[in-house]
Amino acid sequence: MIEIKELNKNFGKDQILSDINFTIKDGEVFGLIGTNGAGKSTLLRTITGIYKPNSGTVTVDGLPVYDNPKAKQLFFFLPDDLYFSQGMTPKSLATYYKGIYPAFDIEKYMKLLDQFHLNPKKRISTYSKGMKRQVAILAGICANTKYVLLDESFDGLDPVIRKAVKQLLVREMDERGMTTIITSHNLREQEDICDHIGVLHQSKIVLSKDMVALKCSVQNVEVCFASDAEAEQTLAKLCIKKQKQKGPLYLLTVEGDREEVMEILHSVDTTYLDVQSLSLEDIFIKEMEAIGYDIQTFMGE
């Protein structure tokens, strides 16, 4: 488990991270969302002990991370700005990482290179941006560390490869309990893989929620009631955030547990009923507005 408490990080007079508090549970995919410049990369570099906090603590499995080789052995960090030594090939990269991570599985790595059609003897410098990122992600998985941190690591991958990489990450989690942290400024990128979402904005974590709870927290409801009395009675029981009416049809945005909302709606006579979950993006906008953020300002528009 990774625990971040009262974390602050600044460079000179620039406050990059301010009073960061959250926990990443073992075996989950934690998605860190934020606009460019929000501090996501700085946070990952502080979690992995590359940067020293100005105050606060970062511990992994109870161990302080900064200047602690034992703790750092638990991490593989893939930065946004990849760097490979001149002349390095995927094969020589494996030898390099084997020296850093004793559990690095070279045989598995070579099989994955073949599956992804990456020539192990070709210089990485000749690869496209997406191919370089594939090599780095495969190396990170084969390092067999408990934690893998990926900074904007799906950037540059085509849709087919992106899906394959996500499936590979999920498989590793199922097989050996790997914990993954993924940063992105793209909410849709995180929706189908993350168990928990944290939102970083202006140096602070402004939202941190379980993905399933977030998806089940709001529903769009279209309903026609059998009578006005049942309509009045039912609407009073629901936590309605938006309401429109077109003749007998009620168009509602309802907050609350989906099962509880369905139980209320099914307890009365209706002539028409359709309940749909909101997209994660719509829920995100609602959540940000609820804590006082104008979404256009948040997104830098």
CATH number at residue 227: 3.30.70
Same domain, 233 and 283: yes
Contact yes or no for 33/198 (Cβ under 8 A): yes
Q: Which of 166, 195, 210 is the last residue of a domain?
A: 210
Pairing state between β 29-33 and 179-184: parallel
Q: Give the DSSP H/E element, type plus range, for residue 201.
A: strand 196-201
Is 283's pLDDT higher than 90?
no
What is the average per-residue pLDDT within 236-249?
93
**In this structure, is residue 298 part of a structural domain?**
no
Same domain, 35 and 139: yes
The reported pLDDT for the residue numbered 290 is 66
Q: Which of 187, 210, 233 is the last residue of a domain?
A: 210
Same domain, 221 and 203: no
Number of domains forming the structure of the chain: 2
B/e letters for 73-101, b = 16+ CB within 10 Å, e = fewer, are bbbbbbbeeeebeeebbbebbbeebbeeb
pLDDT digits (tens, 9 = 90+) for 19-69: 999 999 999 999 998 877 889 999 999 999 999 999 999 999 999 999 999
Same domain, 222 and 196: no
Same domain, 100 and 19: yes
State percent of the chain over pLDDT 70.
95
Same domain, 149 and 250: no
**In this structure, is residue 297 part of a structural domain?**
no
- CA 184 from centre of chain: 7
Q: Which domain holds residue 222?
A: 216-290
CATH number at residue 204: 3.40.50.300
Same domain, 193 and 169: yes
The reported pLDDT for the residue numbered 44 is 96
CA distance 224 to 244: 12
- Given pLDDT bands bounded at 50, 70 and 90, which one contains residue 257? confident
Same domain, 89 and 168: yes
This prediction has a pTM of 0.81
Q: Which of 171, 193, 210 is the last residue of a domain?
A: 210
pLDDT digits (tens, 9 = 90+) for 57-106: 999 999 999 999 999 999 999 998 899 998 999 999 999 999 999 999 99
Same domain, 221 and 178: no
